[in-house]
Amino acid sequence: MTDTQDRKRGSYPKGQARRQEILDAALLVFGKSGFHSGSLREIAKRVQLTPAGVLHHFASKEDLFTEVLRQRDDRVRAAVGDVSEITLLEQMRKVVAYNQTTRGLTSLYTVISAEATDYEYPVHEYFVERYAATAADTERVLSEAQRDGLVRTDLDVRHASRLITAVMDGLQQQWLLDESVDMPAAFDEFLRGYLLPPS
């Protein structure tokens, strides 16, 4: 049966819905247990399938895991909106605020980014490249802001580009441990105290 015939019979939308169910379950399992400890059996159980049934929709556990991360990034990008209309720091503020509303996604990112320090981890290179790209973008924007007098002139933008991300990640971990932590307020306080020139 062709893909077109599947769609006509309605099985394609059902298959896509089932696939999304699996992804939602995988997000919870990987977010709680990480990649290695998060089992296909547990994911399958949550959607009333067998592990083989899950692998009918995804080529492998690694494929499922990669798609979960891709969807997580898509959701964060959607929450930030049109990045051409706001500064990088405003983007960061939006990310921090969004992460405080999505415990499952935030837990997933925190657990997986820690596990990804293992060189043999399935998405080790993904996180290495992600952090490097974020640092490069942040350094560029901070350099421009420094030239415009919007941030401290004595700021080492190379170090700052890494420190800002470290603060964001650290706040996420603290919030996951104690939800009374106000991530957006704490992040804004950091930005004001660390980046802004003296008035």
Average per-residue pLDDT for the chain: 88
pTM of the model: 0.77
pLDDT tens-place string over residues 19-75: 999 999 998 888 888 888 889 999 999 999 999 999 999 999 989 988 988 888 888
Among candidate residues 6, 47, 1, the one with its CA nearest the CA of residue 26: 47
**116: its two tokens:** 């990804």
pLDDT tens-place string over residues 94-110: 999 999 998 888 988 89
How far is the C-alpha of 60 from the C-alpha of 123, rounded, in Å? 14
The percent of the chain in helix, strand and coil, each rounded to the nearest 5, is 75, 0, 25
CATH topology of domain 1-80: Arc Repressor Mutant, subunit A (1.10.10)
CATH topology of domain 82-199: Tetracycline Repressor; domain 2 (1.10.357)
Terminal CA-CA length for the chain:
70
How far is the C-alpha of 142 from the C-alpha of 108, rounded, in Å? 29
pLDDT tens-place string over residues 158-187: 999 999 999 999 999 999 999 999 999 999
- Percentage of the chain lying above the pLDDT 90 cut: 54
129 has a pLDDT exceeding 60: yes
Q: Domain segments of the chain: what residues?
A: 1-80, 82-199
CA angle 138, 160, 112 (to 5 degrees): 70
